[in-house]
Amino acid sequence: MNAIQTKDIHVNLGNFHLSDISVKIPKHSITAIVGPNGSGKSTLLKTIARLMKQHTGEILVNQQNSNTFPSKDFAQIVAMMPQSKQSLPNLTVRELISYGRAPYHSWLSKTNRKDSEIIDWAMSITNTIQHSDRLFHSLSGGEQQKVRIALALTQQSEILLLDEPTTYLDIAHQLEVMEMLASIHEQHQITIIMVLHELQQAVAYCDYLIAMKGGKIKTTGRSIDLLTRSFLKDVYDIDAKVIYEDGFPLIIPKTSRIAKSS
Amino acid sequence: MNVVIRNRRRKWIILLLPILLVITCIFSLTYGSVDIAIKEIWSVIIENDQSTFHTIIWELRLPRILIGLLVGACLAVSGALLQGVMKNPLADPGIIGVTAGGGLMASITMLVFPAYGYLLPITAFIGSFVTAIIVYGVAWDKGASAFKIILAGVAINALLGAVQNGIMVIFSDRVQAVIPWLAGGLSGRGWYHFSFIAPYAIIGLLLSLFAIRSANLLMLGDESAKLLGQKVELHRFLLITLAAFLAGIAVSVAGLIGFVGLVIPHIVRLFIGEDYRYLLPVSALGGAILVVFSDTIARSLFDPIELPVGVLLAGLGAPFFLYLLKNRGLI
């Protein structure tokens, strides 16, 4: 069963196009969208999240045309963490995360017991509960990122999209975020699709890769099968070899400095 | 800002502002060209004493205070909503032309169709609303930056001013009735005017309570709000409509009063943060206090000549606006 299927979608952004995008994303899988800067990764993610409209083609969410869902129903099925350059207001961590319950509320209804339990759950799973009463702007980049993830988790959606969850973080925080996502996936069997720049982590943590280039799908497949020398050549135009050390992929590029010294 | 301090401030402000409002109203009843002692006010209002002060209190000061309260609350809430919707801390119904649009429609009603004077709040609302949509539309380019909205507002304000002048010249025989109103004041406003705007103002202020959730979600940013299932364009439109309605109500009775919608939400935000659950009610109280207090000063300062409160508020508000522009590096 597919959580998401895009059928030949085209997105026209004036000076940039996504074209012929057809992908299938199996339920309960973790998928990374990778590719060089400007290849259309974020655009694809935003189109799936209905932040952008495709001009032709169709997106199916749980086998149903995604445009047929009312907006709140859609937000209960698909949650997305946008890129961290979008700023959030300076509320406390708890206040901010509680907005994740908005899709379950009408204009008047108040936060109820179930909401508080889910907010608590999202804060403890993301390890942000100790910052509950701190103001968002006083947190470090890594902490803010975990709050953003908690906000998306509070929507309790079965599909979670993340746009560059590890960009701008140091390696310790990158691993912390990836481990956290892996354990959330493990425990709750949600479908995760994320845009990642860090290829080694993408392969180590994700079942599938979607590689994009110039607004098109270059190749898709199981991540460990995909990451090869020719893949790096085709998608990134770099010359590098791939080895596995304790099952973790290592990309070793040819660099002029090391080539000279050896 | 620290959360503990923020929450403590919220508590104190919510406790103290209503008290300050009452004190301001009492001050406004006592102070003026004739000073009236508090015990006289007590005997007139509570014991219905028919003394010489009876007329001053019942017919002059009290209705004027009540109108000032509503006008101040409407303008401050309108400003707070516009700032949220336009993502622009400098938005104010006066600065971006929304008040002028309402004022133009109101003066057209008074000068050209005086028989329809009872429709004033409605026509002022239409003028405010159309202006708000035009300014926002002109400034919009994948988002509307603070600076663009101000520039568009300046241009629209100039255009509206020109049309206003043209109409006043053409209908110069009737213009006497409109001039004090245009200067922005509460002079000569009585129970008739109060009963005229009170229903609209109360409806508008109650509706703004329903706007809190939308305004808060919009504050998260368009993308985040959409991802949380909010119909962003619809809500933005509804909030602009409400802000224009509130500004139109204020204009219809008090003329062109500026800067309340800028100054009050700005100061309130500094103290208690940007959460609209607190921002809107506290701004309403703050706006009411500012207008009633300023009007009391304005009518007594150059006694026996009354200064329109709009003039006084512009004198206070314009430097504040310049300070904000400078502070944000816009000039």
Please answer whether residues A249 and A227 qualify as being in contact, where contact means their C-beta atoms are separated by less than 8 angstroms. yes
Tokens at B253, concatenated: 């009775």
Alpha helices in A49-133 (DSSP H): 71-77, 93-98, 113-125
Domains of chain B: residue spans and CATH: 3-327 (1.10.3470.10)
pLDDT of residue B127: 93
Dist CA A180 CA A194 (whole Å)? 14
CB < 8 Å to A88, chain B: 220-221, 224
- Is the pLDDT at B294 greater than 70, yes or no? yes
Among B308, B307, B287, B295, which residue's Cα sits nearest to residue B20? Answer: B287
pLDDT of residue B128: 92
Q: Do A91 and B273 touch (CB under 8 A)?
A: yes
- Is the pLDDT at B50 greater than 80, yes or no? no
Nearest to B228 among A95, A99, A134 (CB): A99
Q: Which of A55-59, A64-68, B128-132 has the lowest mean pLDDT?
A: B128-132
Nearest to B224 among A72, A86, A92 (CB): A86
- Is the pLDDT at A165 greater than 90, yes or no? yes
A72 lies within 8 A of chain B by CB: yes
Q: Do A82 and B213 touch (CB under 8 A)?
A: no
Q: Do B274 and A89 touch (CB under 8 A)?
A: yes
ipTM of the complex as predicted: 0.92
Nearest-CA distance from B150 to chain A in Å?
22
Sheet-wide strand order for A208-213? A78-81, A159-163, A191-195, A30-34, A208-213, A216-222
- Is the pLDDT at B58 greater than 90, yes or no? no
Please indicate whether residue B38 or residue A251 has the higher confidence score (pLDDT).
Answer: A251
Among B331, B290, B330, which residue's Cα sits nearest to residue B313? Answer: B290
Q: Do A155 and B228 touch (CB under 8 A)?
A: yes
| B143: confidence class by pLDDT, cuts 50, 70, 90 | low
Please answer whether residues B297 and B24 qualify as being in contact, where contact means their C-beta atoms are separated by less than 8 angstroms. no
B227 lies within 8 A of chain A by CB: yes
Three-state SS at A194: strand
